[in-house]
Structure 1
Amino acid sequence: MIKTNKDKLVIQSVQGKIHHPLGGNYRISHEGEPRILPATGGITYNVHVGDPAFGWECDHVEPSVSIRNEDKAENDAIMNLACPGNIAKVVSGDAKGAVGYVLGGHGGIEHTIIEFHDEDMEKMAVDDKILIKAHGQGLKLIDYPEIIMTGIDPEIFSKIKIDERNGKLHFPVVCKIPAVLMGSGIGSSKGHSGDYDIMTQDKDLIKKLGIDKLRFGDFVLLEDCDNTFGRGYLKGAVTIGIVIHSDCIKAGHGPGITTFMSCKKPLIEAKIQNDANIRKYIDL
């Protein structure tokens, strides 16, 4: 088992409310087509972790439930501290007591996305409060100090079957993404919060690489992508991330990737598995 410092990590509450979808859904596709489509926010009843990230009539749709805190400083804390796999609980409204888990954070709109069961979502309403046990920031891999962990629940991480061979970690992912395809969000000064998008305008390349088969919650490996202390291109760098929102019609956009593990050197390699999805490791 990979040695970590998880016994030294703090578990802390962060809280937000189910955020209503915003207006202004009019947008222009990369083909110049004007559309009005469902986008970010709200309770998305028929889209869940494990469903395809492609094929929906939507733009940037977030599966299940999206929350935000309207106090910016408090919402920044949610975005920075809540990690994929963290437990979340509804603390107000008819669904009070329902339990789900964090999928990831969506930059720009600054939403935290949480997966819940259908029967619980039917009882929810916009503005219901959801508390998250934020746990994971500060995680370190004792024997791999050059690999920077930027936010994943340590208990979930410990369940993932990562192989150690010749000084490298072989991480289970659905596919590899070349750096040339990483778009919106590139150049951000931080890799510990939010996401950035796989550009999907080149349909032939997307199909060739199997990216069109991605599902919400899938783990992917980003090649030549440095997300240790920002988001940028670096030959040989490797990043592991998770799919958190849908494909998009806008140029420079596509499925969003929340990143949680990155190294400036090629110390992480892909172990291709079709079922490499966070839901495999959740026990609720």
Structure 2
Amino acid sequence: MKTEIPRVAIQGIRASFHEEAAFKFFGEKIHTVECNSFKQTFEALKNGEADYIVMAIENSIAGSILPNYSLLMSYSFPVVGEVYVPIQLHLMALPGVKFEDVKYVTSHPIAIRQCVDFFDEYPNLKIVESNDTAACAKRIRDEQLTDTVAIANSLAANLYGLDVLERRIESNKKNFTRFLILTTHENAKKKGGNKASLCFQVSNEVGSLAKVLNIFAQENVNMSKIQSMPVLGKRNEYNFYVDIEWTETKHYDACIRQILKYTQNFNILGEYERYEEEIAPLLPKPTKAKKYITIKKIE
């Protein structure tokens, strides 16, 4: 049963980029359900401990998060939305700590790699990798580490009471992560959209995939992404995950009818509104820690 305030399962803890994505899609008034893995977010939704999942699916630098495509098929929860979050990374420490006194820097390994240009200037700093950016900020607060800085977002600095020593230290300023929003079939509202995520297989014959792709072009439907993954245990068989966009529903409907003739195991993973920055709700301003709500952590 969906509660008035949505319960949103995320991989990671409060003030992670997943919670930032949840805020951007739902607004600030949510119950955040912290999970240790992406699979646990799906289990939380399956067991009625959450109403929605916010899950990263691709990054403009690191590429697709392939295991998450398998989760989409394994659990079959519908995709009902998407959101893009700019990955802005800041250097933060306990109040009063000076950068010249710092010996260690800690963050997720991907975040560290995305700041390599900054740290090339400080070879004396020792890198400590962790599994979550926000968890690194929390550890500095909990253990009162005066010789360590974390790389995380502004939400983490605010929630865990840290000072930002240097803003926007990421090497690439145009780095975005795309997140999908999923829910149960009962919670999914039947409404129109202009984007869909599909999954299908084609026969292992010359031109099989090309026939499907040509249908998109013929029906004036834009294919914004294609991702292939091997079918587990089957040689030379692949699932194709495709995102398509359209301006008129009749083109989408005609496209789907034709594709069914040339595919096997065809699935519509979700139909939803394409994310548009100019009409998307603005990310809430950082709030004080007491205003955050977390109902539980899924072990």
TM-score greater than 0.5 by the shorter chain: no
TM-score class, shorter-chain normalisation, is under 0.3
Comparing both chains, which one has the higher relative contact order based on Cα–Cα distances under 8 Å and sequence gaps of 6 or more? 2
Bigger proportion of residues as helix: 2
User: Rg larger in 1 or in 2?
Assistant: 2
TM-score norm. by structure 1 comes to 0.25
